[in-house]
Each structure stands twice: as structure tokens, then as C-alpha cells.
Amino acid sequence: MANVVVVGAQWGDEGKGKIVDWLSERADVIARFQGGHNAGHTIVIGNNVYKLSLLPSGIVRGGKLSVIGNGVVLDPWHLVAEIAKLRGQGVTIDAANLMIAENTSLILPLHGELDRAREDAVGVAKIGTTGRGIGPAYEDKVGRRAIRVADLADAATLEVRVDRLLAHHDALRRGLGLEPVDRAALIAGLKEIAPQVLAFAAPVWKVLTEARRAGKRILFEGAQGALLDVDFGTYPFVTSSNTLAGQAATGVGLGPTAIDFVLGIVKAYTTRVGEGPFPAELHDADGQRLGERGHEFGTVTGRKRRCGWFDAVLVRQTCATSGVSGIALTKLDVLDGFKTLKICVGYDLDGTVIDHLPTAADQQARCIPVYEELEGWSDSTAGARSWADLPGAAVKYVRRIEELIQCPVALLSTSPERDDTILVTDPFAD
């Protein structure tokens, strides 16, 4: 049976939550493979709106196994709070439908404190993190001093891990003018939260291997977007993990042969939260209109998103680096009513037109978008469920995007509602 990876192909906020939820109807297992609780996924089912930031989007569906893989960094207190919130909305969450990899690294309060202190210290040079400790937690993971889920099961091991961690962090905190970490309070807090986290702990790699051998369909869910990838994103204004499709295998403990289809989620225009380059950003009435019609505010942070025209250069690039098989184009309805639309088809860099975003930050800052204009449409695309429901100009817009990014449209989303989706190619088709 086919296994599918879902990744954002822009700077995040592309509508992954709805698409993963829609696809999860065809899946048996939904696995998160990277990121932390800085990812915001909104799922609308009927009159119910679910806002997730850590749990896999499939958790709101019954009869599915949701998995948090080792590639994720996990805030245990946020986990417990998010579970409680969803249970309050009538969602069943227990060890039968949620598993957390035993080798998942934890985000602790000291990580968030360090994250925020660093951002405050650099002022205008800040990266624009969510301040939730994601980056510092990944640093500790790579530095081999992280506390992992399995460590919560043994008090002696936990204390050794904490001491190693604090030897590093207390030195950093002194340099930033912060008080040393209260060791006793940290250990007490971890021991208190441990039973609630350990209730979901499992050897996820083994569970997924067995599921695959049994012919189960696995849906791999990424957070953030490809342009926030720590290697291939707009560095240093990126997240602290790999967000590309290749991370799906490492982030849950399966090999790359487990991936059969890569679905890139792409918004019909472009948005970005936080700092960093954005060649096609609009500072005019069109940009304001996109933001208002698209309700472009961060699910997690509430921050207003920067808006711009569709950037085919960037999406073509991310489709290549993630090996995207097909895209899911979302929020087409936000473009309803524009007389003229623009697509960025290249960049003018010091008088030369280039077809990719350069790696050097100074060159990125000098890139001027080269636009192609297309006719807009006045009829509504909201709620369309077939190509026949779309205005001719909207179809031409979608087809032109396919040509420019050199990748076909597999799904087309025309509203936040789960069923307002046009299926072109079923990613789960064998």
C-alpha cells in the first residue's frame, strides 16, 4: 500500500492541517516527523474548529493511530494541555490512538527562556522565532545533552541527564543575565509530568515497521514549510530542523523506501510569518486584501502574516528539494475578485534574471521579482468540488502554476471545509 509524505512547500501556513485531515480518511497511521509546538494546524469539521500545534492532525478522526516521531521536539506540559483541550471538544485520546517515540527529545521551560532571551538580546537582528524553545531544544539534542521521553521512566537517569544539561545552560544564562535554573524544581516538575507522557511512550520505529509490513497506509505529516528548512531555507531565518520530505524517514525511524508519494502543500499566493527575505512581498492594497480575505494570522502566535503574489521560483525550488510528486493547491478562493493576478517567474539580481533563490543572504536581499500577469476572475471558486465548478480564468491560473513549478496539481482546495476539495490524483493510489 502507498505511503504518503505531506510537506509545506512555502514558508508554512499553506493549509497542511486540512489536507492531512482529508487524506487521513484513507490512511491507517498519521505520523508527525519534525518540529515542535510552534506549528499551527487548523482543522474545520462541520461546526467544529480544532487548533493543533503538536498533535498529528489525524488525532481528530476516530479509528486512526497518531504518532509523534523522534524527529519532533516535545514540550510535555504543552502536550498534556493540548490533549486536555481536545478531550474537552469531544476527541478521544488514549494509548490506543496516540503514540510518542521513546527517543523523542523534550522541550523544557529553560529552552523557552533561552529562546526569548536571545531574541531580546539581538533586538532588530532577531530571527523571529515563536519563543517556545524549539531551537534550543534541537541544539541540546545535537549536543547530546537532551532529556528524552525514555529518561522520564528512571529517576536516577533523569537526574544525571539534568545535571549534564544544566552544566551547559547555567553558563549560557549567566552570559544573558539570567538566574541559574532551579534544579530541584525542574526535576520535580519532570517527575510530576512523567506518568502522563509515559502513558503514550512506545518504540515507534518498531510499531511503524510492523504496520508497513501489514500493508497499513502511513501518512507522514511535516510541520512548518520547506523554505524554513535549516539547510535549504532562507537561513538564518529558518526553523531548527529539516522540514523537507527526506526527513520523514529519519524522523520516525523508517528507511526512505517507505515513502511512495510526496505531496507538497502550496498556497495560491505566498505568505510568511516573522523575519527574513520575501522577494514577492506586497506592501500595497493588494497585499492588504490578500491578508484580510485569507485571514492571515498565525494559528499559534496570532502574528499577522506578510503576504505576496504566488512565487513560482520558490515553489519550483522546494518541489525539487523535497522530490514532490504532486501539489495540493490551497486557498484559491482568496483570489476571487482580483481583476489581474501576478506570478513571480524569476528574479532580477543586479540586472541579470535568475531562476532560483540564491543561497547568500546579501544576494537574496537584492532579488527583485519579475512578474507575469494573468487575467483574474469575478465568479466565486469557494466550495468548488470539480473542475467544471471553476471559472475558466481560475483553471488557466492553476495550469500556469503547474507549468512554472514543473509539478502537477494532485489536489485543489477551495475552502477550509474538508470536503471542498478537487481530487486530481489520489496520493494513496497503488
Cβ–Cβ under 8 Å, residues 229 and 116: no
Distance between CA 164 and CA 153 in Å, rounded?
18
d(CA 329, CA 322): 16
Terminal-residue alpha carbon distance, the chain: 6
Catalytic residue flag (residue 111): no
Per-residue pLDDT tens, the chain, 430 aa: give them: 689 999 999 998 898 878 888 888 889 999 999 999 977 777 777 788 888 899 998 898 888 999 999 999 999 999 999 999 999 999 999 999 999 999 999 999 999 999 999 888 876 566 667 788 999 999 999 999 999 999 999 999 999 999 999 999 999 999 999 999 999 999 999 999 999 999 999 999 999 999 999 999 999 998 889 999 999 999 999 999 999 999 999 999 999 999 999 999 999 999 998 889 999 999 999 999 999 999 887 655 667 899 999 999 999 999 999 999 999 999 999 999 999 999 999 999 999 999 999 999 999 999 999 999 999 999 999 989 999 999 999 999 999 999 999 999 999 998 887 788 899 999 998 6
Q: How far is CA 69 from the centre of its chain?
A: 14
Three-state DSSP at 279 gives: coil
Is 13 catalytic? The answer is yes
Which residue among 37, 41, 111, 169 is the active-site one? 41
The pTM assigned to this predicted structure is 0.92
According to DSSP, the residues that pair with 368 across neighbouring strands are: 348
Asked if omega into 416 is within 30° of 0 (cis), the reply is no
The three-state secondary structure class of 224 is: strand
SS3 334: helix
